[in-house]
């Protein structure tokens, strides 16, 4: 259990433990502004022992939202809501992180709970997505507009501006979303990037825009603030990106100031993976070894023994949980108890003494 509870220094920040809440879309913002729901949703993880909590994919432009319910930082008016979240997380001893993102051709979607229904929210919006090439991500998806070089330069500036707003809001680390078939992944993959200019064709050209984003974000951040990059290790389709492509990109990102790779996979229609505990862990371990960077392991990492072994075996440095955290916001506390660690000091002071005296403690979940 020592590894899971050990701190991790990154630049001028020290993560208090290795438990991380992965960014999870909630599709519940209005006009890109987060509200009370987000405050409670994220605050419960800090109370539950997660050392780092990363706010969901936050759009750097209005057109970059996955849905009209996604948060954003393209406008100064969106800073205050985020500042409430960072203040709460930091007051509870958790590191406040945010994932900046652009959905590209997967934008202008609807919340998943409305898919396949005739329901429509009163403030629903739709718009023309942009992408490296005019190729929809699915048969029933809107046709995106291929980005011009002027659009690419404007997007780089938008990432930098959103980064400055994130810093102003009090976030302590920033993650760039380069995975799951969203805009940066679309440029990286030959499945979605059919450009014939300096941003398409060769692997070097396809990396050009994502690396410009990395450079712009890094330059807009304080030097002592860590920068994460979420990466789909493979596309999971014939002709798509391979783990070797991801290692090469991770090395280039490392040289431009990325500190941690958050290793996921997929995001393209039709991609398939063998589902099971630690499903992406082998790719995380390879990127860690070959690119020489700390990695965060995600993908059904919700078994305490698996998480502990991934760290002790040197296959990962952080453990990211999504749906397992939704199911059990106190997962780190329960995992620590399961692995034989005394947990009173890990609970908030308002709860630890009561849990210690609870007659039903030994039969409780975890």
Q: List active site positions.
A: 182
97's tokens: 């992180």
CA–CA distance, 160 with 102 (Å, rounded to integer): 13
Going by C-alpha positions, the residue among 209, 215, 285, 224 that lies closest to residue 254 is 215
DSSP state of 219: H
Helix (H) or strand (E) holding 131: strand 130-131
Give DSSP secondary structure letters for 237-300. STTS--HHHHHHHHHHHHHTT--EEEEE---STT-----STTTTHHHHHHHHHHH---EEE-SS
**Phi and psi at residue 99, in whole multiples of 5°?**
-100, 115
Written as one string, the DSSP assignment of 67-121 is: BTT--B-SSGGGHHHHHHHHHHHHHTT-EEEEEEE--GGG-SB--GGGTTS----
Task: Yes or no: say if 192 and 133 are a contact pair by the CB < 8 Å rule.
Answer: yes
**What is the distance between the alpha carbons of residues 108 and 63, in angstroms, rounded to a whole number?**
8
Show the CA angle centred on residue 332, arms to residues 53 and 169, nearest 5°: 15
DSSP 53-82: EEEEEEESSGGG-SBTT--B-SSGGGHHHH
Classify 181 in phi/psi space as left (phi over 0), alpha (psi -120 to 50) or beta: left
Distance CA 290, CA 85 (A): 36
């Amino acid at each position: 259990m020592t590894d899971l509870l050990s701190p991790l220094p990154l630049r001028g920040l020290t993560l208090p433990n290795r438990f991380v809440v992965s960014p999870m879309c909630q599709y519940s913002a209005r006009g890109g502004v987060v509200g009370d729901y987000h405050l409670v949703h994220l605050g419960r993880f800090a109370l539950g022992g997660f050392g780092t909590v990363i706010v969901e994919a936050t759009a750097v432009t209005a057109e970059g939202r996955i849905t009209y319910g996604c948060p954003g930082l393209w406008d100064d008016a969106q800073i205050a809501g985020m500042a409430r979240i960072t203040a709460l997380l930091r007051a509870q001893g958790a590191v406040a992180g945010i994932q900046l993102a652009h959905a590209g051709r997967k934008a202008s979607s609807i919340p998943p709970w409305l898919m396949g229904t005739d329901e429509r929210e009163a403030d629903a919006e739709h718009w023309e997505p942009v992408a490296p090439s005019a190729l929809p991500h699915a048969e029933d998806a809107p046709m995106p507009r291929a980005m011009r070089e002027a659009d690419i330069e404007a997007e780089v500036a938008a990432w930098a501006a959103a980064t400055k707003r994130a810093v102003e809001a009090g976030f302590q680390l920033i993650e760039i979303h380069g995975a799951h078939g969203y805009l940066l992944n679309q440029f990286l993959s030959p499945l979605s990037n059919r450009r014939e200019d300096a941003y398409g064709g060769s692997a070097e050209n396809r990396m050009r825009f994502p690396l410009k984003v990395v450079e712009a974000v890094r330059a807009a951040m304080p030097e002592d603030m860590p920068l994460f990059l979420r990466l789909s290790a493979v596309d999971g389709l014939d002709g798509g990106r391979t783990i070797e492509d991801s290692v090469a990109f991770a090395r280039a990102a490392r040289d431009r100031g990325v500190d941690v790779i958050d290793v996921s996979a997929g995001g393209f229609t039709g991609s398939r993976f063998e589902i099971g505990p630690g499903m992406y862990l082998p790719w995380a371990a390879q990127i860690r070894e070959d690119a020489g960077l700390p990695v965060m392991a995600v993908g059904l990492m919700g078994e305490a023994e698996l998480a502990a072994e991934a760290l002790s075996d040197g296959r990962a440095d952080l453990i990211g949980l999504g749906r397992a955290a939704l199911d059990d916001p106190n997962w780190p506390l329960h995992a620590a108890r399961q692995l034989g660690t005394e947990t009173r000091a890990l609970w908030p002071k308002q709860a630890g003494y009561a849990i210690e005296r609870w007659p039903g403690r030994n039969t409780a979940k975890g």
